[in-house]
Amino acid sequence: MTVPAIETRGLVKRFGNTAAVDGIDLQIAQGGIYGVLGPNGAGKTTAIRMLATLLRPDAGEARVLGHDVFTEPKAIREKIALTGQFASLDEDLTGIENLMLLGRLLGYNSREAKVRGMTLLDAFGLTDAAGRQVKKYSGGMRRRLDIAGSLIVTPQLMFLDEPTTGIDPRSRNQVWDIIRTLVEGGTTILLTTQHLEEADQLADRIAVIDTGKVIAEGTPGQLKAQVGTGALKVRVAEATRREEAAEILGRTLLAEVIRESDPAALTVRLEDESRAASALIALQDSAIAVETFALGQPSLDEVFLALTGHKTVHEAPDGETADAQEEAA
């Protein structure tokens, strides 16, 4: 029996009056990818920082690869790697210089550090950029270099904090491939994301978190089953016929039809995606012109709505509120 990768009980971290992590229980086995899915501000980074022993919990228990975060941080740090939102690359150094610097810190001599660095750059498709300063890298290249840097020594457990946030779809697919390769090499991965699709593509199990609490846990299939497998979004050409379309969709799909704020748009949550075609045919039979339709997975917002009964609370942007603006005007 191997020890679990991560075990927490009642883990808490407060910042002032905010409980950023508010009593989280997790059981994560070694091997594979565990996804932590939640909106901005849910507490994902705070949770990871406690597990990586960068932040001391205020309450609860946590063991990482069998070691206690309070009493054995050194043993944990030797076995894990951390990358993502708070990892730092030196912008003025080149790609290879960054990796060599990390290699030297981890005990390689400079020749070994260079060999290891070049091998990793090659594996991540960055050989051509080896001699270029990191500040001239694209977002996707930076993310790959960041992950490469955390692999100088192959870690047993790797924390990837939103590794694809803010990068283009092509780089995202490359990062996904890298993650899958790491898992094949035996590394356990804890990945945070704001996107259901990403968790669905990569993770074996997912914890959904909201305001510091785990609100659902299970395989991607189990979670999606709670929400319905997908959503059919339809926009009719004439808004005046939307009611008629809603009635037809409801009748053919036997599902709740949501009237969007756009007066021509409807969304139907589907239990069975294969029935979408028959619903569109029914609209056509009634001569209702459909401007656009899309069959998609539920968005994270829809998952939240289904799981919690409330919408995700997006943090207010910094600066003035509407009131303050009015006063200033």
Ligand X SMILES: Nc1ncnc2c1ncn2[C@@H]1O[C@H](COP(=O)(O)OP(=O)(O)O)[C@@H](O)[C@H]1O
Residue closer to Mg ion by CB (options 36, 279) is 36
Residue 117 touches which of Mg ion, ligand X, none (CB < 5 to 8 A by kind)? none
Q: Does 46 bind ligand X (CB under 6 A)?
A: yes
Size of the site for Mg ion (CB under 5 A): 2
**Geometric angle at alpha carbon 206, from 201 and 209, rounded to 5°:** 125
Q: Minimum distance between the CB of residue 44 and Mg ion, rounded to whole angstroms?
A: 5
Q: Does 188 bind ligand X (CB under 6 A)?
A: no
Q: Minimum distance between the CB of residue 161 and Mg ion, rounded to whole angstroms?
A: 6
Contact by Cβ (8 Å): 136, 93: no
Q: Of 50, 302, 82, which is closest to residue 191 (Cα–Cα)?
A: 82
Residue 95 touches which of Mg ion, ligand X, none (CB < 5 to 8 A by kind)? none
Q: Does 40 bind ligand X (CB under 6 A)?
A: yes
Residue 38 touches which of ligand X, Mg ion, none (CB < 5 to 8 A by kind)? ligand X
Contacts of residue 16, defined as CB under 8 A and 6 or more positions apart, other chains included, come to none
Identify which range of 38-46, 130-138, 175-183, 220-228 contacts ligand X by CB under 6 A: 38-46
Distance in angstroms (rounded) separating the CA atoms of residues 203 and 37: 10
Q: Does 38 bind ligand X (CB under 6 A)?
A: yes
Q: Which long-range contacts (CB under 8 A, 24 or more apart) does 163-169 make?
A: 163/83, 163/84, 163/191, 164/193, 164/195, 164/198, 165/85, 165/193, 165/194, 166/139, 167/139, 167/140, 167/143, 168/139, 168/140
| Site for Mg ion, residues 39 to 58, rule: CB under 5 A | 44-45
| Ranges assigned E (strand) in 65-138 | 67-68, 80-84
Contact by Cβ (8 Å): 124, 144: yes
Q: Minimum distance between the CB of residue 142 and Mg ion, rounded to whole angstroms?
A: 17
Q: Minimum distance between the CB of residue 86 and Mg ion, rounded to whole angstroms?
A: 8
Residue whose beta carbon is closest to Mg ion: 45
* Chain residues that interact with ligand X, rule: CB under 6 A: 15, 18, 20, 38, 40-46
